[in-house]
Amino acid sequence: MASTVAQGRGADKRRALGARTAFLGPGLLYVTAFMTIPILLVVSYAFLTRGRFGGVEFPVTLENFVRALDPIYLRVLWNSIFIASATTLLALLIGYPTAYAITRLPVRWRTVALVLVVLPFWTNFLIRTYAWIVLLNSQGPVNKTLESLGLIDAPLELLYTRGAVIAGLLYAYLPLMILPVYASIERLDRSLLEAATNLGASKFWSFITVTLPLTLPGTMIGAIFVFVPSLGNFIVPELLGGGKTVMVGNLIRDQFLKARDWPFGAVLALVMVLFLAGLFAVQAIVARRINGRGARA
């Protein structure tokens, strides 16, 4: 009796293991084959020598890392961080109040507003960037409008500037700021705000002392969502910066597709990804602290 039960259990276990493998196996195998192994290959290429006909060769070297410290490349990296930060800051300044405004709309208008926020995001990225070439061109509507209003005599150089790159990136990623901020304001416990008001805080102070800190994790998520794709972007700097504004994404793209210096490209990509991973770590730590405080309170 006891042994048949044990046998039954054994068969159950085997069946469970079979089902487990059938469900989890293919997906996990796929992620490993098409993400993890490729990324590990790139990491290992960073320590190899550039091949004579593209590709890589031995010996193992750290020279590629030394080369990345050249002031030319450091300037590109700094320029990219500056542009991505400026984009994120602007997205925050426009996105936070917009998200806040959406939470104060009547419920059915909230959905409409959110759909309108994401609609442009679902249109082709190149088309959205192209729209800014049309808009900012010396013969384009912005210059024409300013001229007809008599504000300028000659067309302004709007396109192919750093400003154009920032505008293009902001346009591309603003929805990614608004959505998480909206979600965190929406989730906010209103009774905390009432408590603050009852205790005599003005609207402004209850916003500063309650709303702002409690929505900080969501805001940081939004900031990361804007910063990460901005930093690695090579399309917007190329199309709206006209090749004058080089970002780290352009550099990586060129090392892989033009210069065919894969080890150096791998180093640049590694630096970029590690920098971004650091940002995620900071966000996670801050979120844990704030959530912990909320739980105690």
Residues 203-222 that bind other proteins (CB under 8 A): none
Shortest separation between residue 155's beta carbon and other proteins, angstroms: 11
d(CA 144, CA 13) in angstroms, rounded, equals 74
Shortest separation between residue 148's beta carbon and other proteins, angstroms: 12
Amino acid, single-letter form, for residue 114: L
Rule CB under 8 A: say whether 185 interacts with other proteins. Answer: no
Rule CB under 8 A: say whether 286 interacts with other proteins. Answer: no
Rule CB under 8 A: say whether 51 interacts with other proteins. Answer: no
Interface positions, 96-155, toward other proteins (CB under 8 A): 97-98, 100-102, 104-105, 115-120, 122-135, 137, 139-141, 144
d(CA 98, CA 113) in angstroms, rounded, equals 10
Rule CB under 8 A: say whether 9 interacts with other proteins. Answer: no
First to last CA, the chain: 56
Q: What are phi and psi of 234, to 5 degrees?
A: -120, -10
Instruction: State the residue for tokens 């154009």.
Output: 164
Residue 113 burial (C-beta neighbours within 10 Å; 0-12, 13-18, 19+): middle
Of 25-33, 78-86, 183-191, 207-215: span binding other proteins (CB under 8 A): 25-33
Of 6-14, 60-68, 205-213, 232-240: span binding other proteins (CB under 8 A): 232-240
Between 95 and 222, name the residue whose CB sits nearer to other proteins.
95
Shortest separation between residue 213's beta carbon and other proteins, angstroms: 20
- In DSSP terms, 57 is beta-bridged to 49
Binding mask 144-183 for other proteins (x = CB under 8 A): x--------------------------x--xx--x-----
Rule CB under 8 A: say whether 66 interacts with other proteins. Answer: no
- What's the distance, CA 271 to chain centroid? 16
255 within 8 A of 45, measured Cβ to Cβ: no
Rule CB under 8 A: say whether 7 interacts with other proteins. Answer: no
Q: How many residues bind other proteins (CB under 8 A)?
A: 77
Quick one: which of 257, 295, 296, 297 contacts other proteins (CB under 8 A)?
A: 257
Shortest separation between residue 2's beta carbon and other proteins, angstroms: 25
Rule CB under 8 A: say whether 94 interacts with other proteins. Answer: yes
Between 19 and 152, name the residue whose CB sits nearer to other proteins.
19
Q: Please name the residues in contact with 238: beta carbons below 8 A apart, sequence gap of 6 or more.
A: 250
Quick one: which of 11, 28, 62, 284 contacts other proteins (CB under 8 A)?
A: 28
Query: Other C-beta atoms within 10 Å of 210: how many?
Result: 19
Shortest separation between residue 26's beta carbon and other proteins, angstroms: 6
**Does the CA dihedral 253-232-121-143 come out positive or negative?**
negative
Cα dist from 101 to 88, 93, 94, 141, whole Å:
19, 13, 11, 29
Cα dist from 191 to 181, 187, 210, 215, whole Å:
19, 12, 11, 15
